[in-house]
Structure 1
Amino acid sequence: MSAHYYKRFVKLAEQWPRDRHKNRGRDVAVFIESEIERVFRKECNTLPQDSALCERRLQSFEQILKSVHRSNYPNSYKSGVFGLNLDRLREANSDDGRRMFGLRDDKKSFFSRFFRRKS
């Protein structure tokens, strides 16, 4: 039973769009794929075999992927909380934009910043 749901989840996860502005560590599609792998492969012995719950989660994932609620409840907002349009928000949230704001992925500890090796 879990193999059937696993295949359906993987098929939906393949349809999720990739974000070319982000690295693999920050891409939602990569996170979804890794979560599916984690839940179905590594925790398969501890999962309860509740097919109704799995079916509801599968339907919810499919609704998110197809933007069902977005089309049922449209809004007229053209900018975010900072007044930026979607293109500017994507630019600010890209890896280059985050570096520009000082939000780096390579977090260094307190001691490594002061006692780094000199070459």
Structure 2
Amino acid sequence: MSQNYKRFLAILEKWPVDKSKNNRDLGYFLREKFTTQFSGAQIVSTKDQKHIEKQFEALDNLVKNVHHEKYPRKFTSTSTGLTGEQCKQVLSSEFLEYINAEN
């Protein structure tokens, strides 16, 4: 359990929290999930240990951009025709508030 705690803590230290999304981003979700999963001294079965190991490997690959480096993008636009920066602006809480105000 202690080893799992330290490994996930190392992942969270590398994972940024997007301040423009006000608790709606993956970094925030992972921190909440981490807090609930490691909140008590729980006994982890072998089956659960295998599941935790898979979760750790997947998160570690995301943090290290393994797939981004293995499969680089040829184009800078997305399926919507927007750039990455424009998509980030559209997903921000400020834009969400603007849309809600318009409606």
Please tell me the TM-score bracket, short chain as reference.
0.7 to 0.9
* Separation of aligned partners in 1, 2:7 and 2:79: 36
Shift of 1:62: 0.8
What secondary structure does 2:21 align onto?
coil
The structure with more radius of gyration: 1
* Separation of aligned partners in 1, 2:84 and 2:59: 24
* Separation of aligned partners in 2, 1:95 and 1:21: 6
Q: What residue number does 1:72 align with?
A: 70
Question: Do the aligned partners of 1:10 and 1:33 also contact (CA within 8 Å) in 2?
Answer: no
Structure ranking higher on relative contact order (CA contacts 8 Å, 6+ apart): 2
- Supply the AA of the counterpart residue of 1:8: R
TM-score, normalising length: structure 1: 0.71
* Separation of aligned partners in 2, 1:64 and 1:86: 17
**Identity over the aligned pairs, expressed in percent?**
24
* Separation of aligned partners in 2, 1:97 and 1:44: 41
1:73-112 correspondence runs (5 A): 73-102=71-100
Unmatched 5+ stretches in structure 2: none
Tell me, yes or no, if structure 1 residue 59 matches structure 2 residue 49: no
Aligned residues: 100
TM-score, normalising length: structure 2: 0.80
Q: What residue number does 1:20 align with?
A: 19
Question: Do the aligned partners of 1:16 and 1:65 also contact (CA within 8 Å) in 2?
Answer: yes
Aligned partner (choices 35, 41, 45) of residue 48 of structure 1: 45
RMSD: 2.2
Unmatched 5+ stretches in structure 1: 104-119
Deviations 1:68-99 (A, max 9, x none): 01100112131222211111111111111111
